[in-house]
């Protein structure tokens, strides 16, 4: 793999990950771009014991451009990526977190305000605009994983970063703003609420590692969708979403950099198979969120267990699962599909 670091016209980093050592990325970004926005402000919610980022500049981010104006397609005048690439990663032009710190006023009451330091990056999985992650070759998925591992290590070393989150949003129903196949990486200045909750549960668990015990139990049960030597994909017993699949490596590692070459190689064939099964359920492109759960930078690394959570809000061919009153207001999920039935449907789904 060849890794090349360059910069965009406004100073943001752009990294290329290529299979060929002779890949040429000498093209320069000559656009006239506005100054980079200031970092968001973090406001503390004392009732929830959580931080909320307020990033007003994100209201102006690019929204569903035409294919010929896509900023993720390479080598055209409006592109964020001035040369052809295999996989490309760049700092988000409209970040939720950054190190471009401004001045932040206190808001009074019991809340606190601090700069939203951190970093947000965009990961372009392929230069092909109308592709999808499920259509990527095994080699291309491995290259994406190399990029995820590289960025996780690099971002974890930044001052003030507490957690690195790699994810993909896919589909208009999920709310994407760019249809080109891509994901994002957030380097948070705090441990996220879901990760904190899972680690607290793992700390209370008796008799072994909670995640490993969950995996061991699921591998024996009726909710396995697919598996190979190194990974198992299963619908969790208490799935929150109509179609939700968790992918676990069989060996506990805290994050993507901890995976062996064999484990990285084995991930792609299984994962793309599961994605095609999702698309095959109703014969439509399934909207989904794919979320890598990694250990925080300096907390709970002995408890955490790397895994991918994949879920869709589609519950039937022409119906979506809306997160309404109970889910949005109370955080109390009500699932419309029996997890065992969802697993059976995925196992029987046509993948071609």
Catalytic residues: 182
Element spanning 147, H or E:
helix 138-156
Are 191 and 163 spatial neighbours (Cβ–Cβ below 8 Å)? Answer: yes
Q: In the structure encoding, which two tokens stand for residue 107, read together?
A: 């808001």
Which residue in this structure is represented by tokens 């060849």? Answer: 2
Distances (CA, A) of 55 to 100, 117, 165, 187, 325: 13, 12, 18, 15, 25
DSSP result, 308-329: EEEEESEEETTEE----IIIII
Q: Are strands 307-312 and 243-249 parallel, antiparallel or unpaired?
A: antiparallel
E strand segments, 2-108:
2-7, 13-18, 41-45, 50-54, 87-91
Separation CA 30–CA 312 (nearest Å): 39
Element spanning 115, H or E:
strand 113-115
> 3-state DSSP helix/strand/coil percent for the chain, to nearest 5?
25, 25, 50
């Amino acid at each position: 793999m060849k890794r090349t670091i360059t910069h965009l016209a406004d100073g943001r980093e752009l990294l290329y990950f290529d299979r060929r050592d002779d890949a040429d990325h000498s093209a320069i970004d000559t656009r006239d771009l506005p100054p980079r926005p200031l970092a968001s402000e973090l406001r503390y919610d004392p009732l929830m014991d959580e931080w909320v980022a307020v990033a007003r500049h994100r209201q102006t981010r690019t929204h569903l451009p035409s294919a010929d104006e896509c900023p993720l397609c390479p080598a055209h005048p409006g592109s964020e990526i001035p040369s052809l690439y295999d996989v490309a990663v760049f700092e988000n032009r409209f970040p939720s977190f950054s190190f471009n710190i401004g001045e932040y006023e206190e808001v009074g009451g019991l809340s606190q305000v601090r700069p939203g330091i951190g970093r947000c990056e965009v990961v372009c999985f392929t230069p092909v605009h109308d592709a999808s992650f499920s259509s990527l070759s095994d080699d291309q998925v491995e290259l994406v994983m190399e990029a995820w591992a590289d960025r996780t290590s690099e971002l974890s070393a930044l001052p003030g970063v507490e957690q690195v989150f790699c994810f993909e949003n896919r589909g208009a129903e999920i709310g994407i703003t760019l249809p080109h196949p891509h994901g994002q990486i957030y380097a948070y200045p705090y441990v996220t609420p879901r990760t904190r909750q899972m680690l607290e549960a793992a700390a209370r668990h008796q008799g072994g590692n909670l995640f490993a015990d969950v995996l061991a139990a699921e591998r024996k049960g009726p909710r396995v969708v697919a598996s190979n030597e190194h990974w198992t994909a299963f619908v969790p017993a208490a799935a929150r979403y109509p179609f939700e699949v968790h992918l676990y490596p069989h060996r506990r590692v805290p994050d993507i950099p901890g995976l062996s070459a064999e484990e990285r190689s084995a991930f792609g064939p299984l994962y793309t198979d599961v994605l095609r099964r999702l698309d095959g359920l109703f014969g439509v492109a399934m909207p989904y969120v794919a979320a890598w759960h990694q250990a925080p930078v300096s907390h709970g690394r002995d408890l955490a267990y790397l895994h991918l959570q994949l879920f869709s809000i589609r519950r039937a061919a022409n119906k979506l699962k809306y997160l309404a009153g109970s889910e949005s207001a109370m955080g109390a999920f009500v699932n419309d599909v029996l997890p065992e039935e969802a697993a059976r449907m995925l196992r029987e789904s046509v993948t071609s």
